[in-house]
């Protein structure tokens, strides 16, 4: 399986999940390291834009194409099983953070497949860096810089 991650150049090779662990995210509280990836370049782009619009015009943004081992080790969360307000702003995400925390602490699955809050019909795939399959996961390509179309950057 191939997944995608967009990050600043300084962090593009880091698959430890430490950034998510330090800051928390929709699917993990602070202290739980998960690697956020997306099922497509387009979704990875949207996810990056939502959180980092101020960085889009810099050459410091890169795209990592990641090959995942252990594809059968997936826990999927369907949008229909979540509360109606699961995709509200992140300050109200204790329920989804608990899902990610439980996934991480159980440790029996490598990938947590979750709906995107931007496009719920698309999926983000969170990788548990402490699972044994993570050792086989590799970045197979880095596009550097990953530039966004000027029409996106210059929206008025």
Could you state, in order of their start, the residue ranges of all structural domains in the chain?
A: 2-150
Residue 57: strand, helix, or coil? coil
pTM, full prediction: 0.90
The pLDDT score that the predictor gives to residue 76 is 97
Distances (CA, A) of 23 to 12, 43, 50, 90: 17, 21, 16, 11
Dihedral of the alpha carbons of 22, 27, 29, 35, in degrees to the nearest 10: -30
State the DSSP string of 104-115. HHH---SEEEEE
Judged against a pLDDT cut of 70, whether residue 11 lies above it is answered with yes
State the DSSP string of 114-127. EE-SSSTTSEEEEE
The pLDDT score that the predictor gives to residue 60 is 83
On whether the CB atoms of residues 90 and 25 are closer than 8 A, the answer is yes
pLDDT, one tens digit per residue, over 42-88 is 999 999 888 776 666 677 899 999 999 767 899 999 999 998 889 88
Rounded to an integer, what distance in angstroms lies between the CA atom of residue 37 and that of residue 65?
10
pLDDT, one tens digit per residue, over 98-130 is 999 999 999 999 999 999 999 999 999 999 999
pLDDT, one tens digit per residue, over 13-34 is 999 999 999 999 999 999 999 9
The pLDDT score that the predictor gives to residue 71 is 79
Strand order in the sheet with 111-115: 74-76, 111-115, 123-127, 35-38, 2-8, 61-67, 138-143
The pLDDT score that the predictor gives to residue 101 is 97
Q: What is the mean pLDDT of residues 134-156?
A: 85
């Amino acid at each position: 399986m191939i997944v995608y991650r967009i990050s600043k150049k300084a962090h593009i090779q880091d698959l430890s999940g430490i950034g998510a662990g330090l800051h928390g995210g929709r699917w993990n509280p602070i202290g739980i390291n998960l690697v956020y990836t997306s099922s497509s370049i387009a979704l990875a782009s949207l996810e990056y834009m939502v959180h980092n619009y101020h960085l889009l015009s810099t050459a410091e943004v890169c795209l990592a194409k990641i090959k995942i081992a252990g594809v059968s080790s997936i826990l999927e969360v369907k949008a229909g099983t979540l509360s109606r307000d699961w995709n509200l702003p992140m300050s109200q995400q204790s329920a989804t953070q608990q899902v990610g925390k439980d996934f991480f602490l159980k440790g029996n699955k490598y990938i947590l497949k979750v709906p995107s809050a931007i496009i719920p019909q698309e999926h983000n795939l969170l990788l548990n860096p402490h699972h044994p399959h993570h050792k086989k996961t590799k970045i197979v390509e880095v596009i550097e810089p990953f530039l966004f179309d000027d029409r996106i950057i210059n929206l008025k």
